[in-house]
Amino acid sequence: MNKIILNSIDEARQQFCLLMVLDDLHSWVKDVDGHFVMVNQAFLNWKNFQDVDQVIGKTDYELSPTVHADQFRADDQLVLSGRIVNDRLEVIPSKERGNITWFTTSKWPIYNHDKKIIGSFGISRRMKDAQEDGVSARELDASIAYIERHYADKLTVETLANKMNLSVSAIERRFKKHLLQTPRQYITEVRLNHAHELLLKTNKAISTIAQETGFSDNSHLTRCFIQRFAITPRQARINFQ
């Protein structure tokens, strides 16, 4: 796709009409603050909305669990810095045990005629079991479902590999192939997302949150949190209040 250039972010509404009829492709436009400017019908159907005006002006944090909204917003920040997210494989575990949905997502920055980034455009396609790449990706389903159930335990890559009846090297190859990260990195990411949600939605002590999300102690959580979010857990809680 060539660079997207609009007079203003509001112009996206006029340019978006052709995408409304695509029923297998979720598409959306956001402003620089993460507010939805436009979404298509497939997006509305996935989120169980009837009308586009129910979504306009909202952010991912109002439409998705924090654990997922954090991931979406982190990608948005990359795009708003001028980078492109191209066919990224995303996995979204549901609250139902073992139920996992795979998506391929791409995002582009939107520029105005002064070459300033004024928003982002994204598309996401739900992968079907019958698709060749989908079948390949689903070999991680059981591993991800297990991590979602046991992230608060003393979960190691060795334990995960043993539960999946795989060698450590085999399970590491699968994670790097499909998610471009190691199992250990993914486990830490899941723990951080859950810790972030507890920080914003509860008054629990940070040390308690660290314990409940699988970190060895408060310092361990803080180090990982700063690396991921660039602020401390305490600052994240203060900023949200």
Question: CA-CA distance, 91 to 101, in Å (whole number)?
Answer: 6
**Domain extent at residue 224:** 133-236
pLDDT score, position 67:
65
What are the tens digits of pLDDT across the range 34-79? 999 999 988 988 888 888 899 999 999 888 877 678 778 878 888 9
Domain boundary pick from 127, 157, 190: 127
Question: CA-CA distance, 64 to 39, in Å (whole number)?
Answer: 15
Nearest one of 27, 24, 49 to 38, comparing CA atoms: 27
CB-CB neighbours of 177 under 10 Å: 13
Burial classification of residue 95, based on how many CB atoms lie within 10 Å of its CB (0-12 exposed, 13-18 middle, 19 or more buried)? exposed
What are the tens digits of pLDDT across the range 198-211? 887 889 999 999 99
pTM of full prediction above 0.75: no
Mean of pLDDT over the chain: 84
Q: Is the pLDDT of residue 30 over 70?
A: yes
Question: CA-CA distance, 110 to 31, in Å (whole number)?
Answer: 9
pLDDT score, position 62:
87
Q: Let me know if residue 197 belongs to a domain.
A: yes
Overall average pLDDT of the 185-193 stretch? 88
Same domain assignment for residues 29 and 99: yes
What are the tens digits of pLDDT across the range 100-145? 677 888 999 999 999 999 999 999 987 654 344 444 556 788 898 8
Q: Is the pLDDT of residue 168 over 90?
A: yes
C-alpha distances out from residue 103 to 32, 92, 125, 128, 230, Å: 23, 8, 5, 9, 27
More confident residue, 14 or 27: 27
* Domains: count for the chain: 2
Element (H, E) at 38: strand 36-39
DSSP β-ladder status, 117-126 and 4-5? unpaired
For residue 94, give the CATH number of its domain. Answer: 3.30.450.20
